[in-house]
Amino acid sequence: MRAYILIHTIFAAAALFFLRLPVAHAGDFPDSLKAAVEAAWQRSPQARTLEAKRDEILAGHEAARSWIAGSPSIGVSERSDRWNNRAGSREREISLSAPVWMPGQVSARRMQADAEAAELEARIASLRLTLAGEVRERIWAVAAAKESLAEATLRQNTIEATAGDVMRRVKAGDLARTDGMLAQQEALAAKAGVVDTQLKLREALLRFTTLTGITDIPPMEPEPLAAVAVESHPRLYASKAAVRNAQALLDVASKTRSEPPTVGVALRREREAFGGETASSVTLGIEIPIGTVARSRPLETAARTRLATASAEASQSEAMLQADIALAREQMSASEQALDVSASRVALAREHAQLIEKAFRMGERGLADMLRAQSLLHEAEAAERQQRVALGLARARLNQAFGVSP
C-alpha cells in the first residue's frame, strides 16, 4: 500500500509539472501531432476532392483569360450559274467567325476566376483546421482511455496484493474467512474493471485509426497554447472568400446581359463570266446581340441570392467563432480549477488511506474500512488523471478555436 501511494505521488507531481507549461508559439507542436493531422488529411475524401478541384480552377482561369467566348466557326460557300444560264458566273467565299467578350466582361470574368481560386484555397485551409480538430478530439479520447486503463490496472495489482495478504492472515487465523471472501470479491471486481477499460481503449483507438491510419498514439503532452487567434482565421477567411466570389459572380452576371458579339472575316473570289477576270475581296463583319431583361434577370437574381447567403453565413461564422473562443477559455479555466481540486482531493484520500491501513495493521479497523479507503483513493486518483486529460483537451480546443492548426 505504501509503495502504491508513493508511485502515485511521484506520477501526479510529474504530470502537474508538464500540464503547467507556459504559453508557447503555435509552431512548437509535437511532430507526432503534426504527423497525425497530415495522415488524416491524406485519408480524407473531402481533402482529395478539394485538391483535385484545383485543376478545374486552373482550367477556369485559362478560359477567363481568353477573349473568345465560344468555339470559332469556319464557313465555305460557292455560288454558280451552271444550273441555269451557264454564262460562267462563279463566286466562292471562305469565312471565319467567333464570339468575343467585351473588355468589361473579360475583366469581370478574370476577377471572378481569381475569387473562385481564393475561395477554394480558403476552403482547403478551413477543412484542414476541421480535420485537426477531429484529430485532437480523438487523440485525447485515446489518452483518456489509456489513463483509465493504467489506473484500473494499478488498482487491480493493489487489490490483488491486498487480497493475497488477507488470505495469508485468514489461513493463519488472524482474520475471519468472510474477510478473505470480501478481499477476493474486490479483486474480481478490479479485474472486471480492467477488462472494461481495455474495451473502451480499443474502441477509442479504432476511431483514431479510422481517421488517421495510425495504430497508436505517442505519449501525450499538453499543446503549447497560442496567446491570441491567428490573424487570418481559416473559418473567417473561408466565409469572406465566399462573399468575394459571390460578389464577383454578380458582377459577371450584370456585365453579361446579352450574348457576346460575333466578329467575322471572309475572303471572296468571284468571276462574272467565262474568260472574265477574277476579283477578290475581304469582308469584315460584326453581329451584336441585343440583351433583354428577361434573359439576364434570372442570372442576376441567382447571383444576388448567393451573395446574400454568403454574407449571412460570414456574419454568423464570425459570431460563432467569438462564442467558441469564449467557451474554450471558460472550459480551460474550469479544467485548471478542477485539476487543483482533484489534486487536493487525492492528497486527502491518500492520507486517509494511510491512516486506515495503519489502523487495520494494528487491528483497530476492519478490512471493509481499508478496502473502502482504497476505493476512495482510487476514485480520487482516477478523477485526477481524467482531469489532467481534460485540461490537455481544453488547451487543444482553445487552440482550435483560435484557428491554430498543427
pLDDT tens digits along 21-57: 333 344 467 678 889 999 999 999 999 999 889 888 8
Q: What is the mean pLDDT of residues 2-9?
A: 40
- Residue 3 pLDDT level (bands cut at 50, 70, 90): very low
- Residue 69 pLDDT level (bands cut at 50, 70, 90): confident
- In the predicted model, is pLDDT for residue 288 greater than 90? no
Alpha-carbon torsion (5, 11, 14, 16), positive or negative:
negative
Q: Which amino acid, 185?
A: Q
Residue with cell 478574370: 110
- Residue 12 pLDDT level (bands cut at 50, 70, 90): very low
For the entire predicted model, the pTM comes to 0.77
Q: What is the mean pLDDT of residues 128-142?
A: 94
295: part of which helix (H) or strand (E)?
helix 293-361
pLDDT of residue 137: 94
pLDDT of residue 2: 44
Residue with cell 483507438: 205
- In the predicted model, is pLDDT for residue 293 greater than 80? no
CB 400 within 8 A of CB 341: no
CATH superfamily of 2-402: Outer membrane efflux proteins (OEP) (1.20.1600.10)
- In the predicted model, is pLDDT for residue 387 greater than 90? yes
CB 317 within 8 A of CB 239: yes
pLDDT tens digits along 267-284: 988 877 666 677 888 989
- Residue 206, φ and ψ in degrees, nearest 5: -65, -40
- Domains in the chain: boundaries: 2-402
74, β-bridge pairs? 96
Give the orientation angle of helix 177-212 with respect to helix 103-172, to 10 degrees. Answer: 160
Q: What is the mean pLDDT of residues 139-144?
A: 94
Q: What is the mean pLDDT of residues 377-400?
A: 92
pLDDT of residue 6: 37
Question: What are 267's three cell numbers?
Answer: 475572303
- In the predicted model, is pLDDT for residue 117 greater than 60? yes
- Residue predicted with more confidence, 169 or 136: 136
- Residue predicted with more confidence, 154 or 1: 154
CB 290 within 8 A of CB 113: no
